């Protein structure tokens, strides 16, 4: 059962930001664009910034993904994230990137989190692997990825943060296991058909049912090979109100995480205390 959190030692207000990208097949170009937008977010006062799913590369060329993949704990992508967190003095949720797995022919879709000192504080491997087909559009992540198995949270001065990646958004039982998080961060690359139908609906539902903020950085636009992603990076409050949204194009979404607002909503509607299952 979830337990309500104490707010006595929680930072009163924190600016959050999410980066929206149109990642292409070249790691260096994606890295450099991400760095510009991370700096923009930090310059605007953001203390926690999140990148979208697979920010280093979106490429239909499967072998290229394996070439890019790194061993856990070492490599240019991980060095970039650690360096950016330390340079900008932010909590950095690094979207997701490919890491080598125990299966030689499959990778993990991994979200890494770094603290303001550049030290790594969390690793989450995407648990639910996306499968979809509509006309000529088909996706089967299980063909090249292995699923994770462990829900993940980490603590910050402003509250407890839970992680998910894209398709995880459709499985509320995952977030029920996180024990009263104050913020969910969900890096994504939603397809256009599923995004148009369900993106905002699902994000707002996760915020409302968990009485927490939701920060959802997204991929947007047309990528190599013709893949299209929905964009609409969002920040949502615990009542389900959309505080900021970027429908399309690269850029930054930001807003204030308020401990007082979180406490107000949870006091008015103590649903977390009313759970019986």
Task: List the catalytic residues.
Answer: 53, 126, 166
The residues that bridge with 151 in the sheet, in sequence order, are none
Distance of alpha carbon 204 from alpha carbon 211, whole angstroms: 10
Cβ atoms 52, 95 nearer than 8 A = yes
Distance of alpha carbon 38 from alpha carbon 233, whole angstroms: 15
Nearest partner of 164 among 204, 217, 205, 211, judged by Cα: 217
Nearest partner of 3 among 244, 193, 177, 187, judged by Cα: 177
Residue listed under structure tokens 């807003």: 255
């Amino acid at each position: 059962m979830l337990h309500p959190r104490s707010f006595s030692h929680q930072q009163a207000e924190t600016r959050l930001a999410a980066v929206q990208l149109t990642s292409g097949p070249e790691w260096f170009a994606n890295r450099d664009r991400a760095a510009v937008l991370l700096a923009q977010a930090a310059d605007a006062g953001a203390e926690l910034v999140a990148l979208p799913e697979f920010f280093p590369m979106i490429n239909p060329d499967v072998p290229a993904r394996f070439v890019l993949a790194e061993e856990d704990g070492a490599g240019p992508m991980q060095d970039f994230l650690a360096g950016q967190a330390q340079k900008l003095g932010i909590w950095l949720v690094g979207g997701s990137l490919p890491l080598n797995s125990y299966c030689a022919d499959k990778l993990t879709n991994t979200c890494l989190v770094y603290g303001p000192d550049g030290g790594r504080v969390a690793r989450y491997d995407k648990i639910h692997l996306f499968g979809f087909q509509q006309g000529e559009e088909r996706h089967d992540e299980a063909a090249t990825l292995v699923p994770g198995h462990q829900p993940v949270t980490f603590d910050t001065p402003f509250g407890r943060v839970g992680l998910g990646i894209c398709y995880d958004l459709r499985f509320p039982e995952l977030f029920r296991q996180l024990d009263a998080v104050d913020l969910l961060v969900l890096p994504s690359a939603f397809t256009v058909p599923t995004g148009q139908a369900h993106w905002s609906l699902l994000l707002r539902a996760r915020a409302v049912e968990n009485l927490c903020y939701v920060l959802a950085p997204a991929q947007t636009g047309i990528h190599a090979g013709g893949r299209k992603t929905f964009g609409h990076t969002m920040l949502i409050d615990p009542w389900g109100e959309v505080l900021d949204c970027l429908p399309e194009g690269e850029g930054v979404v930001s807003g204030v995480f308020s401990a007082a607002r979180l406490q107000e909503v949870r006091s008015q509607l103590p649903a977390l205390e009313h759970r019986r299952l």
